[in-house]
Amino acid sequence: MKFDFQYYNPTKIYFGKSALDNLSGELANYGEKVLLVYGKNSIKKSGLYDKIIGILSGAGKKVTELSGIKSNPSYAQLLKGAELVRENNIDLILAVGGGSVIDCSKGISVSAYCEGDPWQRYWVNFEDVDNKIVPVGSVLTMAGTGSEMNGGSVITNEDKMIKNGRVFPADVYPKFSILDPEYTYTVPEYQMVSGVFDTMSHLMEQYFSGDDDNTTDYIIEGVMRSLINSARAALKDREDYEARSNIMWCATIGLNTLTGVSKEQDWEVHMIEHQIGAYTDCAHGAGLAVVSTPYYKYICRDGLDKFVRFAENVWGIDTAGMAKEDAALAGINSLTEFIKELGLPLTLRELGATEDMLPKIAESTIPGGGYKKLNAEDILEILKACY
Ligand code: NZQ
Ligand code: ZN
């Protein structure tokens, strides 16, 4: 392991078919005022809302609700939640939903008592949080982002047309997260595959950078293989419990810092997708699917050995006798085939982007990269290849 590291993750996970039974025990650790945060209507349709309300009232909680959190949660919704926290003197924020609901809840948690403009301080200047943090707990209903066990909070400022992500330290992570894979059965197929690809992308962002013999890379390869196999099984049978539970756990460990330990990381595919999201409001995983193949083709010559290893260890390609470049491309082509298998888009047009957006997306993307450092011109080239 090349770099020194500390490893600590404070989120307590309850996983499995009876995971929700642990909610009342957790609620006992907090005061009586709860802000229940959720999305549009999926938890009401599935009956989860009624169960949660029953548990909250059984625990004697006073509940304030913030509903309608949209995919790609907006800064305006975050500010509304922060106001509710202050007005009602909230003791616990309970997020019930996918990454958008959990990200927004973490954003509310750090913003409610922030002096000054939270957007500028926390999502632009990336300042440390020096104010009171309201505890967050979560009940996850969609697998993909890993938000249930990390400090990430990705917020879209619709006035500024910027989607910015931020990783907060351990005291902002959910205190507990309840993961019952059966809750994901009702996720529409497009969102399911979007979540699968989001996880795949998190793993690739951490894998394709740094070239040492790092234990973390072997862990990532194993998680990728489990994810690919389980996604194929879940596409055949949406209620295959083993497949859905594997996908859920792959998503959680795919971004709970375990798969990034002692590694240089890339994250440029995410930086580009965030701005595509700001312009098109696409599903996050779908945006990542569009960017990934052109991006990896653009940078693979700068990290050839790792792309060959990806072809061999993740996709099982026999590269004996192949030139390194051909072997690397064979791995990337397998990734493209997987995107097709999932039924995700491969072009920006399919996400509703128009040609005039490309320079604006390129200019507003935070430049960076792993094997190859990109500038706005490189990003524009990649966007043209995605179009
Ligand atoms: O709003 P409702 O009605 O609940 O419907 C949601 C939403 O339309 C639906 N859904 C969720 N669970 C469901 C369900 N429908 C039926 N049954 C269920 N059980 O799915 C749709 C998408 O939900 P959303 O929470 O937006 O999806 P996801 O979990 O992919 O979250 C995406 C957001 O997370 C950010 C993304 O950028 C995006 O804003 N990310 C957060 C990260 C983090 N915290 O570390 C990292 C990621 O890279 C990502 O950037
Ligand atoms: Zn992601």
Domain interval for residue 221: 189-386
pLDDT reported for residue 26: 98
Residues 332-362: tens digit of each pLDDT: 999 999 999 999 999 999 999 999 999 999 9
Instruction: Tell me whether residue 245 is in a domain.
Output: yes
The residue type at 51: K
Tell me if 368 is assigned to some domain.
yes
Digit-coded pLDDT (tens) for 100-145? 999 999 999 999 999 999 999 999 999 999 999 999 999 999 999 9
Nearest atom within ligand 1 for CA of residue 102: 44
Write down the mean pLDDT value for the chain: 97
Give percent above pLDDT 90 in the chain. Answer: 99
Q: Which two tokens stand for residue 335?
A: 């990734």
pLDDT value, residue 266: 98
Note whether residue 258 is domain-resident. yes
Question: What number does the ligand 1 atom closest to the CA of 198 have?
Answer: 48
Same domain, 143 and 272: no
Domain boundary (130, 148, 183) is at: 183
Question: Do 297 and 158 fall into the same domain?
Answer: no
pLDDT in tens, 264-309: 999 999 999 999 999 999 999 999 999 999 999 999 999 999 999 9
- Please give the pLDDT value at position 211: 81
Q: Are residues 209 and 175 in the same domain?
A: no
Residues 246 and 171 in one domain: no
306 lines ligand 1 (CB under 6 A): no
Instruction: Identify the domain boundary among 143, 168, 183.
Output: 183
CB of residue 141 inside a 6 A radius of ligand 1: yes
- Over residues 31-48, the mean pLDDT reads 98
Which ligand has the minimum distance to the alpha carbon of residue 277? Answer: 1
Same structural domain, 233 and 269: yes
Indicate whether 68 and 193 sit together in one domain.
Answer: no
CATH of the domain at 137: 3.40.50.1970
Summarize pLDDT for 186-230 with one digit per residue, the tens: 999 999 999 999 999 999 999 999 888 999 999 999 999 999 999
- 358: domain CATH number? 1.20.1090.10
Q: Whose CA is nearest to atom 38 of ligand 1?
A: 72
Which pTM value belongs to this model?
Answer: 0.97
Q: Is the CB of 22 under 6 A from ligand 1?
A: no
pLDDT at 212: 84
Q: For the chain, what is the domain count?
A: 2
CA of 288 to the centre of ligand 1 (A): 14
In angstroms, the CA 384 to CA 276 distance is 13
The answer to whether position 4 is within a domain reads no
Predicted confidence (pLDDT) at residue 175 exceeds the cutoff of 90: yes
Closest CA to 243 of 185, 191, 316: 185
Q: Ligand 1 atom 31: the closest Cα is on which residue?
A: 99
Asked, for residue 294, whether it belongs to a domain, the answer is yes
- Mark whether 38 and 124 lie in a shared domain: yes
Shortest-distance Cα residue to atom 33 of ligand 1: 100
Q: Which residue has the tokens 């375990």?
A: 258
Mean pLDDT of 59-65: 98
Domain end position, chosen among 159, 183, 207:
183
Half-sphere exposure of 107 (CA within 13 A, CB side): 33
